[in-house]
Structure 1
Amino acid sequence: MNIKMYLNNEKWLAGMTMKDEAEPENFNMALHACQDREVILQNRRQLARFLNCELGDFVCAEQTHSANFHQVVHADKGRGADKLETAVPVTDALYTYEPNILLCSFNADCVPVFFYHEPSGVAGVIHSGWQGTVKEISLKLFKHLIHDKQCDPNDFHVQICPALSQEKFEVDEDVYVQYKALGYADKWIEYNEQTSKYHIDNQQTVKQQCLLAGIPENQIQIDHTCTFQSSDGFSHRQDKQSGRHLCFIMKKEK
């Protein structure tokens, strides 16, 4: 199995599954983008065994490129784990204070983020495609946690995981205008005169949203692996029938 682990200690478990040609459907994790539902469930169970948890510990959302987030509680365990119909609806970020819940985000070029906050014990995942980024999903979630849940921004740790690189994220003016309107993304926008296209670094824009929330820069990490260019990446831009990575985090029970 091709699994990139970022955290595995006594408190937190976090990582991202990667494309693996030796596995069924290349280790695709998405029920909404698959050839065989049973293969996906098999892949998810294999991941669960590796992480020493159960498929019923997974919580998945119906990702719709929204800026909506949901606080996961114990009663949510298993939502979206084995069927799409039970996923948390119209939501692109999940967070929880509860232990032994695997928060899941599915991605193929969109920016996957996971984070944790040591003092409060909160952890979460964010799915930020370009639409989620221009809707400022990351900034809105962190503002909610800081202002409504009294989380000190200085205690967040954020990992921005593999996504489409600026070189491969090529867009027309309609998308450029929306990034431009943010007022802070200009540094990560380049114009190609030969193609009349714009190239945008979505990872850096998401990082800037974390900084705007007050999170210290040295506590925000970026994995610059490009999902289009890497053989380990699922890329919807490269292949419309592409599978999906699963970005995850779990708070371990003390």
Structure 2
Amino acid sequence: MEPFQWKQAAKGPSLFYLSSWMEGEALTAGFTGRDGGFSKAPWQSLNMGLHVNDDSKTVVRNRIAVTEALGWPFESWTCAEQVHGARVHIVSASERGRGRDVREDAILDADALITNEPGTLLASLYADCVPLYFYDPVHRAVGLAHAGWKGTVAQIARHTVEAMTAQYGSHPSELLAAIGPSIEDCCYEVDGPVISKVEPLLKELREGGASMAPNALIADANGRARINLKEINRQIMIKAGILPTCIELSQMCTGCRTDLFFSHRMEQGKTGRMASWIGMGRGEPFS
């Protein structure tokens, strides 16, 4: 069953809840769709990104609509300036709300955020890259990571697990992880320079015992290949010690489902951004 369950109230933002994590927990986690916002074309309509030349006041209005739909205050929204790297930033209570309404205030140069601070809503932005979610129900800590091909090759998933272990005492075998909607191999073709970076990682994972799905990388006769970043990140999570049964995997492809999501590749870069989110300590358990 698809772990990200779509809910949209009348005229409200399109939200995909990671509902299995939220049942019985004061926790919220999920992914935004493209509908139910206020942006005009080509960002129509629920654009969450301040960096794509959309009107900034409209983007903030979209973000406020999402947080209100979640039952959280807008002041809790906390995000970073993403650079397709693998740096993990530990979000303190004093950093709550950074980046919510202006880019200049965002946490600098971080593609993964972790926190154990209740009332802090972590968020990151996407338009095909892979959203990664982490939850430690034992030590009460959460994390998000943004994994494009560069972040995947740099193993940002592993770095996030290691940071949560070092900072919060998390044990990888006790972590819950999820991989959200993103582009899949059916829509993601890359060239030689990218292949040359991905192949050594696949070799390392296979030599470490990974049972890689056949569609992790499918080469063609023209020196190009289709890559499944979801599967590669899943294997990195397993190598980092997360149990395979504790990893939720979305089956939705942003390239195939431009009716639901923005896709940088399918829309030639002229499009909006979705947001992943996760936070503890507000609202009622999910139902």
TM-score (norm 2): 0.84
2:111 maps to 92
Using the TM superposition, give the Cα deviation of residue 159 of structure 1 relative to its aligned residue in structure 2, in angstroms. Answer: 1.1
> For residue 4 of structure 1, what is the amino acid of its counterpart?
F
Is 1:209 the counterpart of 2:266? The answer is no
Is 1:221 the counterpart of 2:248? The answer is yes
> For residue 3 of structure 1, what is the amino acid of its counterpart?
L
Please give the alpha-carbon distance, in whole angstroms, between the structure 2 residues aligned to 1:120 and 1:86.
29
Please give the alpha-carbon distance, in whole angstroms, between the structure 2 residues aligned to 1:47 and 1:114.
18
Residue range with higher mean Cα deviation, 156-165 or 13-22: 13-22
CA offsets per residue over residues 30-54 of structure 1, 9 Å max, x none? 1011421111111011011111112
Q: How does 1:158-237 map to 2 (within 5 A)?
A: 158-182=177-201, 183-184=204-205, 187=214, 188-193=216-221, 195-230=222-257, 231-237=259-265
> For residue 274 of structure 2, what is the amino acid of its counterpart?
H
Please give the alpha-carbon distance, in whole angstroms, between the structure 1 residues aligned to 2:122 and 2:196.
33
2:68 maps to 49
2:10 maps to none
1:154 maps to 173
Please give the alpha-carbon distance, in whole angstroms, between the structure 1 residues aligned to 2:37 and 2:60.
17
2:281 maps to 252
CA RMSD, Structure 1 to Structure 2 (Å): 1.7
Q: Tell me which of 19, 24, 30 is aligned to 1:15.
A: 30
Using the TM superposition, give the Cα deviation of residue 22 of structure 1 relative to its aligned residue in structure 2, in angstroms. Answer: 6.7
Using the TM superposition, give the Cα deviation of residue 184 of structure 1 relative to its aligned residue in structure 2, in angstroms. Answer: 2.3
Using the TM superposition, give the Cα deviation of residue 144 of structure 1 relative to its aligned residue in structure 2, in angstroms. Answer: 2.7
| Secondary structure class of the residue paired with 1:26 | coil
Using the TM superposition, give the Cα deviation of residue 130 of structure 1 relative to its aligned residue in structure 2, in angstroms. Answer: 0.5
- Identity over aligned residues, as a percent? 29
> For residue 165 of structure 2, what is the amino acid of its counterpart?
I
CA offsets per residue over residues 115-160 of structure 1, 9 Å max, x none? 1001110101110000100111111121232355421111111110
Please give the alpha-carbon distance, in whole angstroms, between the structure 2 residues aligned to 1:167 and 1:192.
13
TM-score (norm 1): 0.95
Q: How does 1:94-133 map to 2 (within 5 A)?
A: 94-133=113-152
Q: Tell me which of 263, 266, 271 is aligned to 1:238.
A: 266
> For residue 30 of structure 2, what is the amino acid of its counterpart?
G
8 Å Cα contact 1:14-1:248 kept in structure 2: yes
> For residue 31 of structure 2, what is the amino acid of its counterpart?
M
Structure 2 spans left out of the alignment, 5+ residues: 1-12, 207-211
8 Å Cα contact 2:14-2:36 kept in structure 1: no
Q: Tell me which of 39, 55, 64 is aligned to 2:58.
A: 39
Please give the alpha-carbon distance, in whole angstroms, between the structure 1 residues aligned to 2:170 and 2:34.
35
Counterparts in 2 of 1:103 and 1:22: CA distance versus 1, 3 Å: closer
Structure 1 spans left out of the alignment, 5+ residues: none
CA offsets per residue over residues 40-82 of structure 1, 9 Å max, x none? 1110110111111121101110000011011111101110000
CA offsets per residue over residues 6-51 of structure 1, 9 Å max, x none? 1334321001101117753320101011421111111011011111
8 Å Cα contact 1:159-1:221 kept in structure 2: yes
| Secondary structure class of the residue paired with 1:65 | coil
8 Å Cα contact 1:34-1:40 kept in structure 2: no
Counterparts in 2 of 1:148 and 1:20: CA distance versus 1, 3 Å: closer
Q: Tell me which of 84, 89, 109 is aligned to 1:65.
A: 84
Please give the alpha-carbon distance, in whole angstroms, between the structure 2 residues aligned to 1:151 and 1:242.
37
Please give the alpha-carbon distance, in whole angstroms, between the structure 1 residues aligned to 2:169 and 2:79.
25
Please give the alpha-carbon distance, in whole angstroms, between the structure 2 residues aligned to 1:177 and 1:45.
42
